[in-house]
């Protein structure tokens, strides 16, 4: 399966996918990495892995739609089977999402704590267990059909950084496992029900 990965930051989720893809039995290949800004470690990771990159900043476009459709055109060039938004900090339009099956990782157990501050909000709420969620992106914020989840315990002495780091370790393993299974076995999305597997091999 051909993956286009979208990033906005440090790209550790991307790195986990790049590392997994080095094994030919994994079944997927990162064919391009896209970003909404320059100068980030995520793009540097792609370059070190000799994966083509592109980046377009919203501020370079007159309208948000213009940016979104430019991103879709760039993504399309790489003919992905799957787009993985991995720490990509922009919402994509329904037009984009209609063109590409797009998965996103979120550092909380959806539907709890959507938005930009999953680890902080979980800590402030005082939950004892949080985690990470991989889901099919829809028009909402972290609302799409759930593909995979992993629980992470909150420690007494956690702060936002320590909790997020522990979530990210679990998140990367979940992402690599689920994307590999999807690449090898396929995915069906029917309403809110997501099933991995069932592809004739």
For residues 140-169, which are near ligand GRF according to CB under 6 A? Answer: 168
Please give the size of the binding site for ligand GRF, defined by CB under 6 A: 15
Q: Is 82 annotated as a binding residue?
A: no
| CB closer to ligand GRF, 13 vs 55 | 13
Answer for which of 36, 109, 171, 196 binds ligand GRF (CB under 6 A) is 171
Strand partners, 35: 7, 55
For residues 104-123, which are near ligand GRF according to CB under 6 A? Answer: 105-107
C-alpha atoms less than 13 angstroms from C-alpha of 180 in its C-beta half-sphere = 17
Answer for which of 3, 5, 12, 18 binds ligand GRF (CB under 6 A) is 12
130 contacts ligand GRF (rule: CB under 6 A): no
| CB closer to ligand GRF, 80 vs 131 | 131
156, 172 contact by CB (below 8 A)? no
For residues 80-99, which are near ligand GRF according to CB under 6 A? Answer: 86-87
45 contacts ligand GRF (rule: CB under 6 A): no
Q: Which residues bind ligand GRF (CB under 6 A)?
A: 7, 9-14, 42, 86-87, 105-107, 168, 171
Q: Which residues are annotated as a binding site?
A: 11-13, 64, 89-92, 104
Q: Which residues are catalytic?
A: 106
């Amino acid at each position: 399966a051909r993956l286009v990965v979208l990033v906005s930051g440090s790209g550790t989720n991307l790195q986990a996918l790049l590392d997994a893809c080095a094994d030919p039995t994994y079944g997927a290949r990162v064919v391009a990495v896209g970003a909404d800004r320059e100068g980030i470690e995520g793009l540097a990771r792609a370059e070190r892995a000799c994966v083509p990159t592109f980046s377009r900043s919203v501020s370079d476009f007159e309208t948000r739609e213009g940016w979104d459709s430019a991103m879709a055109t760039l993504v399309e060039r790489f003919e992905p089977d799957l787009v993985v938004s991995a720490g990509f900090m922009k919402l994509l339009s329904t037009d984009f999402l209609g063109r590409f099956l797009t998965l996103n990782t979120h550092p909380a157990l959806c539907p709890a704590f959507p938005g930009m501050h999953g680890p902080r909000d979980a800590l402030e709420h005082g939950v004892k267990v949080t985690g990470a969620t991989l889901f099919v992106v829809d028009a909402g914020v972290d609302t799409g059909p759930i593909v995979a989840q992993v629980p992470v315990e909150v420690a007494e002495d956690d702060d936002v950084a320590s909790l997020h780091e522990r979530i990210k370790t679990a998140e990367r393993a979940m992402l690599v496992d689920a994307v590999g299974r999807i690449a090898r076995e396929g995915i069906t999305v029917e309403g809110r029900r997501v099933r991995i597997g069932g592809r004739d091999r």
